[in-house]
Structure 1
Amino acid sequence: MGKFPNLAGYDMTESHMPAQALYRARKEGARIPSALLQSADRSAAYAIQDATLAAIGPIGGWKVGAARTGAEPTCAPLPAQCLLPDGVAFSGPAWRLRGIEAEVAFLLGADLPPRPAAYSVQEVAAAIVAVMPVIEVVETRLSDWFDAPPPALLADLLSHGALVMGPRQPFDPAWLDLRKTEAVLHFNDQVVAHTVGGHPCPDIGALLAWLANHCMRRNGGLKRGQVLTTGSCTGMLFASQGMRVNADIAGLAPLSLSF
């Protein structure tokens, strides 16, 4: 991780002190109370995200999702150093929550820079070159994660810990609709989730178009090479220390991780 900017003599914005607390908690494997984030709304939470990423390092991708069809999506940038290969093993004090979500992700092959007009689903689809299965490992820097208010969870990169990426395959626009997508999660040899159409907002094209338009106003647009993950097909389940996790999304290669 890079050094957090020197704040001595700096006219601090409301986002810098909460971001500093999150950065240190992430670096040290510690936990902080959500009250330290002072994130009263989504705008403040997104500012904290940006300040945190300025300390951690480059953006490798984005996560986007919505609680249900028609709800306003939320998103978070993903540190490049947290994008990890299939089969990775996690250890150490940072991995305490160990939330597991099986997701469908996309690789951008072209930039989507700022412009006056909004991006359409078709334009975003034209910029995608690959689809892949991923497992998001949900982790928190908050000591009161179960009771934390939504803006605090949003400020903490939507509880992102890591994104384990499976093999890529050429993009087919059919992947922008997950209403019939089958997904299976195994913890060791036990099936802990088996869903068909389990994504809460299966219109993935709409989520990605929202993300492209959000980012062109906020971060200079989405970039070629970034990975965009789109929310859980299985819900969130919690793995124990010593478990092996396997995910299988129909039509994509299986992938795994272990703790």
Structure 2
Amino acid sequence: MQQTDIRAAAQALLTRRLNQQISGPLPPEQHPATAEEALAIQQSLIAQMELAGQGVGGWKCALPIAIDGLENVPVIAPIFSRTICTDSPCPIQLDQGVCKIEPEIAFRFGCDLPHRREPYSEGEILDALSGAHLALELILSRYAEPDSVSYLDHLADCLFNQGLFVGPSITVEQACAASDIRFVLTDPSLQGGCRQIEGKHPSGYPQKPLFWMVNFLSQRGIDIKAGQLVITSSYAGVIEVDPEADFTLEYEKYGEISLRFELN
């Protein structure tokens, strides 16, 4: 893939993101054929977003996967600072007519972890954290038919992320022990007004992808910055809620998020 095609792909994805556009697949010459090409598009998008005044406020990640005939494919994408929200109502763009969210736990870094040659230990990574939060990832594909494009196309476009809602604080110790969580969604649009959801972290514990991510980025010359947030996979897949309606998502034993979305 030529550098001009990498920049053109990133520019096209940037335009969709900034203008809230959903469109078809990129031209053939802009399709990433490898994970490295997809990540190169991602990095070009990050650079162009920074020029537009939107730096990286955090990351989403999971342990590497096998998909589309490829092995050990990274699951990582930036979350841009202006898309991180802490107040209700929270702006959101609809995906197929609904608000799509994923319940997560977000780790917050209290100090920088500069990239370096030797890997960071789990203890060093935990010591760099300042806390954790209940959080909701806001989901959106900027492809009109997301099932028709490859995982690498989605990787280039930041893996369905449109933002992050950051809820109440919990301790790092609570976060690291959160393997299973039972959720209760209270929403007036639901029959009976509420729904129970059994949740389990795909990696067993949420810190496992965090440890992988820090060293993956470090090996690529990318620093972790103080204040950045990291989410490490949904406990319950995608949950759909109505726009402009109050709802509450209770995280058993940890607290709850009460929120209203407003259309962006």
- The question of a shared fold, defined as TM-score above 0.5 by the shorter chain, is answered with yes
Structure 2 distance, partners of 1:67, 1:178, is 21
Q: 1:176 to 1:131 in 2, by over 3 A?
A: same
SS for the counterpart of 2:153 is: helix
1:27 to 18, 24, 36: 18
**Aligned CA-pair RMSD:** 2.5
Matched, 1:183 2:171: no
Contact kept? 1:63, 1:76, Cα under 8 Å: yes
Structure 2 distance, partners of 1:63, 1:160, is 8
Contact kept? 1:66, 1:200, Cα under 8 Å: no
SS for the counterpart of 1:87 is: coil
Q: Which residue of 2 aligns with 1:99?
A: 100
**Aligned AA (1:18):** A
Matched, 1:63 2:60: yes
Q: Which residue of 1 aligns with 2:115?
A: 114
1:15 to 6, 14, 38: 6
Q: 1:14 to 1:237 in 2, by over 3 A?
A: same
| Residue correspondence of structure 1 range 36-185 to structure 2 within 5 A | 36=27, 37-56=30-49, 57-66=54-63, 73-90=74-91, 94-97=93-96, 98-172=99-173, 174-185=174-185
- Deviation of 1:246 after TM superposition, in Å, equals 2.5
Structure 1 distance, partners of 2:121, 2:194, is 38
- Deviation of 1:21 after TM superposition, in Å, equals 0.5
Contact kept? 1:113, 1:222, Cα under 8 Å: yes
More strand by share: 2
Structure 1 distance, partners of 2:40, 2:196, is 35
Q: Which residue of 2 aligns with 1:3?
A: none
**Aligned AA (1:23):** L
Alignment gaps of 5+ in structure 1? 1-10
Deviates more, 1:239-248 or 1:27-36: 239-248
Contact kept? 1:177, 1:202, Cα under 8 Å: no
Q: 1:38 to 1:72 in 2, by over 3 A?
A: closer
SS for the counterpart of 1:96 is: coil
Structure 2 distance, partners of 1:214, 1:39, is 20
| Residue correspondence of structure 1 range 240-255 to structure 2 within 5 A | 240-255=242-257
- Deviation of 1:152 after TM superposition, in Å, equals 0.9
1:216 to 218, 237, 241: 218
Contact kept? 2:206, 2:233, Cα under 8 Å: no
Tell me the alpha carbon deviations over residues 216-258 of structure 1, each in whole angstroms, 9 at most, x when there is no partner: 1235321111011111111112333444342222343311232
Structure 1 distance, partners of 2:81, 2:19, is 18
Contact kept? 1:104, 1:134, Cα under 8 Å: yes
Q: Which residue of 1 aligns with 2:206?
A: 204
SS for the counterpart of 1:15 is: helix
Contact kept? 1:110, 1:127, Cα under 8 Å: yes
Structure 1 distance, partners of 2:179, 2:171, is 20
Structure 2 distance, partners of 1:24, 1:187, is 34
Alignment gaps of 5+ in structure 2? none
Deviates more, 1:98-107 or 1:175-184: 175-184
Structure 2 distance, partners of 1:204, 1:169, is 13
Q: 1:38 to 1:141 in 2, by over 3 A?
A: same
Normalized against structure 2, the TM-score is what?
0.83
Structure 1 distance, partners of 2:75, 2:5, is 20
